[in-house]
A and B are shown apart, each in its own frame.
Chain A
Amino acid sequence: MSALADLSAAAIAEGVRARSFTASDVTAACLERIEQRDPALNCFTTVTRDRALATARAVDAAVATGEDPGPLAGVPYAVKNLFDIEGHPTVAGSKIHRDAPAARKDAGLVRQMDSAGAVLLGALNMDEYAYGFTTENAHYGATRNPHDLNRVAGGSSGGSAAAVAAGLVPLSLGSDTNGSIRVPAAFCGVFGLKPTFGRLSRAGTFAFVNSLDHTGPFARSTADLAATYDTLQGPDPADRAQADRPTELVLPDLLGGTGGLRVGTLDGWFHTGATSEALEAVDLAAEFLKASPVTVEGAETARAAAFCISAAEGGSRHLANLKSRPQDFDPATRDRLLAGALIPASIILQAQRFRAWFQARLAEIFHRYDVLIAPATPFPAPAIGEETVMIGGQRVAMRANIGLYTQPISFVGLPVVSAPIRRPGKMPLGIQIIAAPWAEAVAFRIAAALEAAGIVGAQIAPC
C-alpha cells in the first residue's frame, strides 16, 4: 500500500475517481509514510490524522454515489504552519503563538484545496514567523533535507518542500516573502510557485511582511503544480491585498511549448556570489531555451530595499511581544526583529518608492522578453548549523547570501516557477523561471518544456 504514497497528485485523483483505489487507502499510505520517515526529517509539527481520515471517507462516499469530489480527489497535502487549520493554534514557527486561540476556520486556500477534494494531513515546520531561509527552528528543531539529512531543507517553507521531496505528501502549501518558496524548493529538488503578488488569497495565514507576502504551492511535477495552482485561484474577499483578477487556468496550455517565447538570462547581480555549479545549472536551461543575457539595473538596491522593509514590518508586527517576552523568540529571529523595529521611517518609505522605480525597469524588460531565468540560490543546501559557505575561494556568511537572487524578484511581485535542475548524484539546485505580472501561464509552459526535455525534474528522495 505504501506505493500509493509514491504516486503523483494527478495519478491519485485519477485512481480515486476511477475507483482503482480509495482516498482512504491513499491517506492511510501517506500517514504510514509520515510515521516511517518524518522522525528523521522533522517536517510535520502537527499531523491531523482524524481530520484526514474523515475527509478521505467523505471523498470516498462522494465517489461511491457518483458525485465528482473535485480535481484533487483524495490527494493528500499539508501546509506550512502559518496557515490556519480549524481547531489548532496557528503557531507560525513560534513558541509564543502556541498560546494563541485555536483557529475558528481554515485559511482560504485550505478551504479551496478541500473543496477540490484534497485531504489535509497536517502542518509543517518553518523558520519562526517566516523570517529565515533554513528552517533551523529553535523551538521545533531543524527540518532535514531529504537528499542529505545533514543539510538544511531551506526556508522558510522548509517543511513544505522537504515533505514533498521525501514523498510524505505529493503537494504542499507555503508562503514566500523574499524567497521562502523558491529557496526550499531549490534546496530540496522540487517545484515551487510564487505567483504574482495579489494573485492567491493570504486570508487566514499569519503575515510576516504584509506588503511582500505571497502564498503558493509545492509539487514534484509541473502538471501537479499547475493543477494545484488552478485549484487555488479565485477571489477571497477576506484578503484585502488580493488583486481583482479573473481566474486564468494554466493546466490547459501547460504543454503549449516554448515557440515564440523570448527568454533572457539575468546577469550582473544574479551572477554575483554564485558558485560555478549554480551558474552551470542556469546555463543548461539557457542553452535549451536559446536565452540571451539581460541586465536589470538596480537589482542590488532592490534586494537591499526588500531586506529593510521586511525587517521593519516584521519588527513592527511583533513589537508588543518583543517588549514583553523577548526571551521567547527564536534567537535566530529575535535580534533581527528588534533591529527592524528601530529603523527610521524615511528608509522604509524610500525603499517603497524605489520599489515603484524598479517595477518600471522590469516592465521595460518585459516589453522585450517573455521570460527571464536566474539561479534560485547561489549554492546548494548548506550543512545544518553552518554559518559560512565557500564561494570562489572566499568564505562568506551563509544565511545573508541565500536570498540574493530571490529577493529582488518578489520585491516587485513577479510570478516565478522555481524548477529543480536534474543533477543525478548531486545535491539539488533550482532555477527561477520569471514571467511578467499575471503571466504565470508562460512560466509554467517554460517549466513544462524543460521538464519534458529532462533538464528539470523532481523525484522522491531515497531517504
Chain B
Amino acid sequence: MMKTTGQHALTADQVAAYADTASKVLDLTIPEAYRAGVIANLERLFQLGDLAMSFPLPDDIEVAPVFRP
C-alpha cells in the first residue's frame, strides 16, 4: 500500500522496516501488540517531519537551543 509522506513518499512497509531496524539499533523491543500503533505514529511523524525537511532554509540558520555552560 502506498502512503504519501509530504513530498517524500514512503510505503507503509518501508516505515515498518525502518521501525524494525531503528528499534534494533536502540536495543528496543517493540511488543507485537504495540507494533501497529508505533508504525502508525511513525508514519505520522515522518509526514510532519517531511514538512520541516523540505523547507528551504538558508545556510546560516543554526539550531535554536542555546547551551550555557
Contacts and interface: CB of A to CB of B under 8 A. Distances in A.
A113 B66 CA distance: 29
B52 A350 contact: yes
B27 A308 contact: no
A342 B42 contact: yes
Interface of B: 18-19, 22-23, 26-31, 34, 37-42, 44-45, 48-49, 51-53, 55, 57-58, 61-65, 68
A321 to B, nearest CB: 11
A351 to B, nearest CB: 5
B interface, over-half SS:
helix
Interface stretch (A68-76, A145-153, A218-226, A299-307): A299-307
Given A301-B52, A308-B45, A350-B52, A355 B64 contact: yes
Contact of B49 (A304, A322, A355, A400): A304
A351 B53 CA distance: 8
Interface string A345-357: 0110111111111
A101 interface: no
Most buried by A among B34, B45, B57, B62: B45
Most buried by A among B26, B31, B52, B63: B52
A350 B62 CA distance: 9
B51 A301 contact: yes
Nearest to A335: B37
Interface residues on A, range: 35 or more
A18 B34 CA distance: 59
A interface, over-half SS:
helix
A409 to B, nearest CB: 15
Given A304-B49, A347-B49, A354-B57, A341 B28 contact: yes
A349 B63 contact: yes
B42 A339 contact: yes
A298 B62 CA distance: 17
A350 B53 contact: yes
Contacts of A343: 42, 45, 49
Most buried by B among A298, A322, A349: A322
A326 B42 contact: no
A351 B52 contact: yes
A240 B68 contact: yes
A352 B26 contact: no
Contacts of A339: 19, 38-39, 41-42, 44-45
Contact of B29 (A211, A323, A359): A323
Contact of A353 (B29, B37, B63): B63
Interface string A304-347: 11011001000000010011001100000011101111111011
A300 B57 CA distance: 15
Contact of A356 (B40, B49, B63): B63
B22 to A, nearest CB: 4
B63 to A, nearest CB: 4
